[in-house]
Amino acid sequence: MEGFKYTIKCKDKNTNARTSVFSTPHGDIKCPIFMPVGTKATVKTLSPDEIKETGADIILANNYHLFLRPGTKFIEKMGGLHKWMNWDKPILTDSGGFQVFSLAKEKRFTKDTTKKLVKIKEDGVEFSSHIDGSKHFFTPENVMQMQSEIGADIIMAFDECADAGSNHTYAESAMDRTHRWAKRCVKEYNKIQKNRKNKQALFPIIQGGIHDDLRINSTKFMAKLDLPGIAIGGLSVGETKKEMYHILDVIKNHLPDDRPRYLMGVGSPDDLLEGVERGIDMFDCVMATRNARHGSFWTNDGKSQIKNSAYKESQSTLMKGCKCYSCKNFSASYIRHLFIEKEMLGLRLLTIHNVHFLIDLMKKIRENIEKGTFSKFKKTFLKKFMKNNN
Q: Which residues bind its own copies (CB under 8 A)?
A: 40-42, 44-48, 69-70, 74, 77-79, 84-86, 312-313, 315, 329-331, 333-334, 337-338, 340-341, 343-345, 347-349
Rounded to 5 degrees, φ, ψ at 34 are -105, 135
| Residue 49: active-site member | no
Closer residue to its own copies in complex, CB, 55/302:
55
Is 284 an active-site residue?
A: yes
Q: Of 114 and 315, which has the nearer Cβ to its own copies?
A: 315
Question: Please, what is the minimum distance in Å from the beta carbon of residue 334 to its own copies?
Answer: 5
Say which of 12, 57, 94, 271 is annotated catalytic.
94
Nearer to its own copies, 83 or 364 (CB): 83
Helices (H), strands (E): how many in the chain? Answer: 15, 17
Give me the least distance between CB of 33 and its own copies, in Å please.
Answer: 23
Cα distances (angstroms) measured from residue 85 to each of 25, 53, 152, 203, 285 = 17, 16, 12, 23, 20
Rank residues 6 and 334 by Cβ distance to its own copies and give the closer one.
Answer: 334
CB of 347 to its own copies, least distance (A): 7
Listed in sequence order, the DSSP H helices in 129-167 are: 140-150
101 burial class (0-12, 13-18, 19+ CB within 10 angstroms)?
buried
Minimum Å gap between C-beta 351 and its own copies is 9
Q: What is the DSSP string of 224-289?
A: HT--S-EEE-S-SSSS-HHHHHHHHHHHTTTS-SSS-EEETT---HHHHHHHHHTT--EEE-SHHH
What is the Cα–Cα distance from 70 to 4, expressed in whole angstroms?
A: 29
Q: Which of 57, 271, 281, 284 is catalytic?
A: 284
CB of 319 to its own copies, least distance (A): 17
169 burial type by CB count under 10 A (0-12 exposed, 13-18 middle, 19+ buried): exposed
Choice between 177 and 348, CB closer to its own copies = 348
Active-site annotation, residues: 94, 284
